[in-house]
Structure 1
């Protein structure tokens, strides 16, 4: 048993060395992780209303578009999640594919596909609300011309979008259009590049039109919409809305009576976590921005307020992006404050325990696990020595018992012989 334990500890030590080369196991959940940023000069300009998606091939964030107090942009920037560095791009030489890229905008939606394509839909600038859609190959770094069929949706910005992988389609909900707040759900089939409008089933439940809201796809294949602005007077809502993607209809939702509840807001961002929870960060209450973090647990239908530790934003944000990574972290970039300040800061939020973080922290993992494994190995050797000592003592006892038994046998034999001699008659009878 001791030998098996020692072998196991050696395996753990080997894994520690491998893990140290790749990253570090972080045992703190719901915490902001300190970023030591590299190549900050390559960061985008301060911006809000942009989009951010993950390229899982090389673990980079792809940030597109947005606006600040000066202008709208269609710049495309990438951030290395593993090494915490902005990647310099040579923009001096125009690419032929740039003719197929979107014009400057904000309030658009960007979604990726399993084939590492990014699609950009809608948005606005100072004069125009858009209804166009674009395709970007994140691996080859080129924009691709789309030949779209079907009836295009109404122009919009501040809408939301999810990717439903079962049927290879995007679902876009709500937004602000040229006629006011929208409540429709439009579908784009990215295999055939076809637009269509969903007609939710007749179950007497109608989706509330909103813009500046968030939407995620949960494990029950429901599009979950939270918050947003409901009218042209900038009135916000705290409502949760559930749309069953499989059956194509809105469904009732009952909040646990013991649950708290976040205040109404817009301009926040949300991600889904591996723990079947929705993580919501930031937003604008209508009279100011917040840096609050909330979780919604789909298993128990409860809201949980979170007070993360660490190096997070020290001011409220809205119009920022939140993007999940393969390391169970959430990257928060950009946004604006309650005033006219725009930001290009980037933050890393630890969602759950036991996640790989970055190469720079690998040494910590190696040192800690080396100490632990050394203690385990030392204990195993001590147990081996104790077992060996006990075995020697047992064998010595057996030898002593065997010698004692042999001596007893000899003594008994002598006593029997002596007794027999004593029973011989002194005189023979003639």
Structure 2
């Protein structure tokens, strides 16, 4: 999915986008300039959003029907209703970035990114001469117990990663070597303490370089790829990079300038430094980017994404890496809605988890689970600190903990690093970064590595209004505080927690059963303490048994009612989802019809302009004909007058006695 800028500064960014698109505040004819850059439908929508943002809701009278372009512009603007101007600004910038992701870089050449003196480990800030803007690099970008760690931390500067003794904070290590070009939507993978970075997007241009960060020496270097005729990769972004077979990298899918019809899997062999195309069998998926790929056993599981026509997907495909065969799966249950730029993880080699992502107009924070054994989708109940909607985030798993970093919600970058306990499905916040830093951005990557025998998260790149090439490191704790704050009831078994959380009535039944077990234990203790008075104990037991039976019947009745209610809710949910699907299809159909009508209106306007030009030409010809007619009439009148004068000269000659021969000569002359 094309990204919406994180951390947008409105309205300054809106006016920059409007100027770039061609809306310079002049007459409405600017829509023509916009139409020259984008499609007619996009130009009309940008026009309407610009009017809504600058002038507010449409209060102009409806144009006459014989003015199709003006009518289309009025209809688009009027259709926005009472949309707030800030929302119109946000949508304007969002649509512009979807159509032209690199527009901002072309109008912001005066911004100079920071340069860092690696040897001295001190930030060298380069100030742009025209506006004086500068962005100093922060050596520590996290908070610990709510206190911000200053960038001038001398321990960090002097000792590098040795200071990563505090858990759950992001630290920027002193990295040497030539840094890769800033980018986002790249791929990242770790093999033998080395993080490989491939491809990505920079200023709207796709990349195909392969960079490596040695996480023992923390130095960057570029991998010199040996060219081969069968596998030289084209620049791409939105792909996935997967480590495979100990010394290979798999690049799966991605967007490119000349996309293929089907999803391509490229293989990079580390010993030979060569790319090749993986030969597969079966029916491969259509080409896409922004999808998710997880490695489960000997298979790759691919879900969702966005194809070359910007259509969102929610299909599921599996590639067997032993037989190299594709299979398209059709699980039961309700799948996630079509989306891209989501995160995926696998738990216990059985459960595929899908979190977040975005469509063309919204971001999600829903969690979906696919049982890879039964091939059934479910949507479990999330607990704890539920994350906000986001897309373009990245995730990595450590045991049963799934860490999610970054992302954006079409308004700003997400500053929290969160973790999901995949056994209890409880969310917690690990830490929060401050300011406009690379960690709060879209399209960054996070990988799992180790340092001094402990797990660390390594983040690289991203886009939050500017492209980043920074490296940040976090050492996560494995304390119970990261598991859950809601530990009042027993924790379910790790393999069945997902299924248990998908059915509220099942939880209720478990709680009721445990309540009865507790009461039975109390009875046993009372009987033990009352051995000296057996008759009273027996009578008490009978009464308690009667009470328990009555309570059991009441609880069973309540449980049956809850089950019926849950069944009704599931049925209503299914009906609502069906209606929603029908409405979505109808909306897509109406959008298609509207686009066709708008295109036809533009064509009719062109035809009308041509006819008007022809009418003007005909009017000019008519005037020329009138002039010629008048000239002809004048010529005829002059000839008639000449004949009359000649005839009158002959009579006077006869009266004067002129001979006929002379009169004839006179007449001839």
Q: TM-score range by the shorter chain?
A: 0.5 to 0.7
Residue 228 of structure 1: SS of its match in structure 2? strand
> Which moved further from structure 2: 182-191 or 113-122?
113-122
Q: Are 2:290 and 1:161 equivalent residues in the alignment? A: no
Once the 2 structures are TM-superposed, how far is the Cα of residue 310 of structure 1 from its aligned partner?
11
Q: How many residues align?
A: 314
Instruction: Give the corresponding residue for 1:86.
Output: 220
Q: TM-score, normalised by structure 1?
A: 0.68
Distance 2:370 2:445 in 1: 23
Instruction: Give the corresponding residue for 2:254.
Output: 123
Once the 2 structures are TM-superposed, how far is the Cα of residue 199 of structure 1 from its aligned partner?
1.9
User: Residue 367 of structure 2 contacts residue 379 of structure 2 at CA under 8 Å; is this kept in 1?
Assistant: no
User: Residue 295 of structure 2 contacts residue 301 of structure 2 at CA under 8 Å; is this kept in 1?
Assistant: yes
Distance 1:45 1:99 in 2: 27
Instruction: Give the corresponding residue for 1:368.
Output: none
Cα distance per residue 1:144-168 (max 9 Å; x no partner):
3422211110111100000011xx1
Distance 2:164 2:411 in 1: 37
User: Residue 249 of structure 2 contacts residue 268 of structure 2 at CA under 8 Å; is this kept in 1?
Assistant: yes
Which residues of 2 match residues 21-170 of structure 1 at below 5 A?
Answer: 27-39=165-177, 41=178, 43-56=179-192, 59-89=193-223, 91=224, 95-97=226-228, 99-126=230-257, 128=259, 131-165=263-297, 168-170=298-300
Instruction: Give the corresponding residue for 2:354.
Output: 225
In proportion to residue count, which structure has more strand?
1
Instruction: Give the corresponding residue for 1:251.
Output: 378
Q: Are 2:400 and 1:269 equivalent residues in the alignment? A: no
User: Residue 229 of structure 1 contacts residue 266 of structure 1 at CA under 8 Å; is this kept in 2?
Assistant: yes
Cα distance change on mapping 1:159 and 1:324 into 2, 3 Å: same
Once the 2 structures are TM-superposed, how far is the Cα of residue 290 of structure 1 from its aligned partner?
2.3
Instruction: Give the corresponding residue for 1:234.
Output: 361
Once the 2 structures are TM-superposed, how far is the Cα of residue 120 of structure 1 from its aligned partner?
1.1
Which residues of 2 match residues 4-19 of structure 1 at below 5 A?
Answer: none
Distance 1:325 1:98 in 2: 34
Once the 2 structures are TM-superposed, how far is the Cα of residue 171 of structure 1 from its aligned partner?
0.4
Distance 2:242 2:463 in 1: 22
Cα distance per residue 1:201-254 (max 9 Å; x no partner):
x3x332322101011112362111110013xx3311110111112332213412
Distance 1:315 1:330 in 2: 12
Cα distance change on mapping 1:70 and 1:185 into 2, 3 Å: closer
Instruction: Give the corresponding residue for 1:307.
Output: 431
In proportion to residue count, which structure has more helix?
2
For the pair shown, which has the larger CA radius of gyration, 1 or 2?
2
Q: TM-score, normalised by structure 2?
A: 0.44
Distance 2:404 2:318 in 1: 25
User: Residue 456 of structure 2 contacts residue 473 of structure 2 at CA under 8 Å; is this kept in 1?
Assistant: yes
Once the 2 structures are TM-superposed, how far is the Cα of residue 75 of structure 1 from its aligned partner?
0.6
User: Residue 30 of structure 1 contacts residue 309 of structure 1 at CA under 8 Å; is this kept in 2?
Assistant: no
Instruction: Give the corresponding residue for 2:473.
Output: 348
Instruction: Give the corresponding residue for 1:176.
Output: 306
Instruction: Give the corresponding residue for 2:607.
Output: none
Where structure 1 has 5 or more consecutive residues not aligned to the other structure, the ranges are 1-22, 355-430
Cα distance per residue 1:35-75 (max 9 Å; x no partner):
11111x2x21011110000012xx10111000111511111
Cα distance change on mapping 1:124 and 1:297 into 2, 3 Å: same
* Aligned mate of 1:319, from 443, 446, 453: 443
User: Residue 188 of structure 2 contacts residue 447 of structure 2 at CA under 8 Å; is this kept in 1?
Assistant: yes
Where structure 2 has 5 or more consecutive residues not aligned to the other structure, the ranges are 1-160, 480-669
Q: Are 2:385 and 1:260 equivalent residues in the alignment? A: yes
Structure with the larger RCO, 1 or 2 (CA within 8 Å, 6+ apart): 1
